[in-house]
Structures are given as C-alpha cells and as structure tokens.
Amino acid sequence: MLGALPSPGLTGRRSVLAALGAAAAALRPLLCGLPGCRAPRRGLGQEQRQLPDSRLQLPDAAEATRLVLERARPSPPLRRFIACPDLARAVRASLECGPARGPEPVVLECEPGPGVLTRMLLNAGARVVALESDRAFLPDLQSLENSLHGQLEVVYCDFFRLDPLGCGSMKPPAMYSEKLFENLGILAVPWTADVPVKIIGFLPQKKERNILWKLIFVMYERSSIYRYGRIELNMFVSEKEYKILTAKPGELRSYQALSVLWQTACEIQLLHMEPWSSFLTNSKTRGLAIPKSTLLPNDHLCLVRMTPRRNLFTGGMTTANSSTFLLMIKQCLAKRKSKLIDRLNSWSPDSGSKLLRELEIPENIITGNLYPEEYRRLFEAMEHSKEFSQSWLYDEVLENNRIINF
C-alpha cells in the first residue's frame, strides 16, 4: 500500500522529482526512434473522439522500443511500428473504429508488433484480429488475447503474402485468404453491402508498388480478399506513392496507370500525415531508412483510406472484362504525352476519331490529360463498339490475364 511507505520529506520528494525529470528529458530523444513523443503533426477532417483508453495499459514509447529491438532478428525485413501512445491515439481517432450503430466491421491489423495501436483499438471497443508474421511478437500478443474475452484474435499470418500465385500446400505465415476468413468466421457479402472488414497496416517499403498492383488487380477481379465484399484498406503508404494514387490529369510526373485504376475503383481519403521520424523501425542501428525520391515529395508516411466504390461493377464493368480495362489503362498511360487517338487507331485503324466524337472528347487530347471517369466511359464505349470487338487489345488480354507487373 502506498500509505504504508515512509514519506521522504519535501526535500527528498523534490530530489526524486528532479531525477525523474532529468531521466525523462534524457530518454525523450530516443522514444519511438524519433525526436520526441508528441502530438501528431496533421490530421485531415478528423475530430478525435473522447474514448476511454485506460482499460488496457499501453506500453510507453521507451518500452515499445525495447520490445522491438529485443526481438529484432540479425537481418530482418524492414518494418515500421507505432510506438508513441499519442500517435496511436490520433490514428485510432482517424480510423473511427469502435462501437457504432449497426454491425461494426471486423478490424484486421497487419503486423502489430508491440501492440501499441492494438491496445488503443481494443480500448475503443473494436473487435481486432492481429495478423503477425514474426513469431517473436506472438507470445505477448497471445497473452493479451488470453486476457480478453473474444475481442482479440491473434493469427500467425503475413497479410501481404496472402494468395500467392500458384497452388499447393501453404506454410505459415503465408496463407490463403479463403482459409483465413473461414477460420475467422467472416462471410462473403454482396458488393453493394456495407464494408465488412477494415484492414490496417503499413505497406512494406520495398514491395510498396508491387503490392498496390496486386491489390488493385484482385479488386477488379473480385478475387482473394475482395470475394468477401468491399474490403476497406487503411494503409500507411509513402508520401510519394500517395501522390501517385491521387494525381490529377496533367500532372505528368505522377499521373500514372495506378492513379487511374485506384481512383476509378475506390474513394481515396487522406486520414493523417506523419514524418518518417515519428515511427519506430526494427533496425538495429535505429536508422529511419527513408526511401529516396527525386521527382516527388517523400517526407511523410500517409495514412490512406481506400474504400471500394459500390458502383464499380455497373455500367458495363464486370469481373469478366475488367482485366481488359486494366490492360487498356496500362497501355494508354505508358506514354502520357502521346495522343489518345493514335492509341485507339493502333487497336482499331481509323476508329478513334468516331469514338472520341461520340464521347465529346477532343481529338488532340493526350493520354495524360484524360480523367479516370473519362477512361471508364471510353472503355464502356469500346465494349459496345463493333469496331473494337476484334482488335488485338482483346486478344492480348488472354495472354496477359495474370501478368500485371507484380
């Protein structure tokens, strides 16, 4: 009992407080592997909800740093973690996870590591499935799981290795999404239904572009995780890739095939931006390992929400022809300064002018100046056109159906 301890006296208490203050000041530059554990710099359009976060005690940044560094393997794949409780609190508020009217989506947290954000989500009332691929973090997460009553489930799984190409037996942490969702009791819902699952995590830095391609391909195909409905992604991505995902026509450095495909398929919302230094890495040297970028800014990690559109598979877009749309966009945006009419005529000679007039698109427009919705209208018109029905573009799809530059 605290009351049984002898009082150190006023002078003694001042000495203790002074020592604690000095220790805290010395530790502050090391916390989170960053210059200080502080309120995040920027959150867009989000009001932090006053939710209790005292039910589960959060490790402070120094403790989270210790947990990560103790478990780091000699040459681990680079990973980033939220170690600062203030940052975790801001992320939780941005994600809007917790009790709400109606069924609440299941939250899949990818690579939670020390579990700082995990505890914050649990305290908000969310049902969380922690997908962790590093066995070193499993004991602490499983201990937390056992202390709760079904609110947390821990799975040895690497989300970013779900459904690899090929078939056969699968060795964890790689896994088939069908097995994962079946084990979790997650059922498929119609595409037009509400979001059944929210996925939260960091896109692996070295595979960021490849994973974005893989995800957009399976979304248009409605395979893998998207067989279960409009799965919402809430991912930390580099600022450079965020700029590409949200680029506008005319921004020729950043407006690419990924821009058109993701904007056509999803509502994209920036939830939060945070400097790279705000995150902890599993590097033994505590280096930030910031990827270089010369043409686009890349000073932050961006928490981005990507919600598939309810009307994606309407107006002529189907899972049967969506691979044709992907290939068309890749070819059109390969050279963003080339004329669109030249590309159309290469697929069906002398047909481009008529098609563009019907759609009221200028004949001299370049491919890098066409909006995503205009590309979709163009594709749907080509689908109904006799001139384009036998073009080589459609024949090539048969050979390229599974090759989308993973």
Helix (H, G, I), strand (E, B) or coil at 262: helix
Q: Which of 1-10, 147-156, 240-249, 364-373 has the lowest mean pLDDT?
A: 1-10
**Which residues fall within 8 angstroms of residue 338, CB to CB, at 6 or more apart?**
366, 367
Q: Is 132 labelled a binding residue?
A: yes
Delimit the CATH 1.10.8 region(s) of the chain.
Answer: 322-400
pLDDT at 255 exceeding the cut of 90: yes
List C-alpha distances in Å: 17 to 41, 173, 215, 335, 370: 30, 47, 52, 65, 63
Delimit the CATH 3.40.50.150 region(s) of the chain.
Answer: 32-308
List C-alpha distances in Å: 379 to 170, 180, 275: 38, 35, 39
Q: Is 82 labelled a binding residue?
A: yes
Question: Can you name the CATH fold of 32-308?
Answer: Rossmann fold (3.40.50)
Domain at 322-400, CATH class = mainly alpha
Q: Which of 245-254, 258-267, 393-402 has the lowest mean pLDDT?
A: 393-402
Q: Is 200 labelled a binding residue?
A: no
More confident residue, 169 or 82: 82
Distance, in Å, from the CA atom of 347 to the CA atom of 342, rounded to the nearest integer, reads: 9
Mean pLDDT of 239-255: 97
pLDDT level of residue 99 (50, 70, 90 thresholds): low
pLDDT at 24 exceeding the cut of 50: no
136-166 residue pLDDT tens: 999 999 999 999 989 999 999 999 999 987 6
Q: What is the pLDDT of residue 53?
A: 44
Mean pLDDT of 187-214: 96
Average pLDDT along the chain = 83
Distance, in Å, from the CA atom of 36 to the CA atom of 29, rounded to the nearest integer, reads: 5
More confident residue, 347 or 31: 347
User: Is 198 within 8 Å of 105 (Cβ atoms)?
Assistant: yes
68-80 residue pLDDT tens: 777 766 667 889 9
Which segments of 8-124 does DSSP mark as H helices, in order?
A: 9-27, 61-71, 85-95, 116-123
pLDDT level of residue 169 (50, 70, 90 thresholds): confident
Mean pLDDT of 109-138: 95
Distance, in Å, from the CA atom of 366 to the CA atom of 340, rounded to the nearest integer, reads: 5
Q: Which residue has the tokens 């009351």?
A: 3
**Which residues fall within 8 angstroms of residue 233, CB to CB, at 6 or more apart?**
199, 215, 304, 305, 306, 307
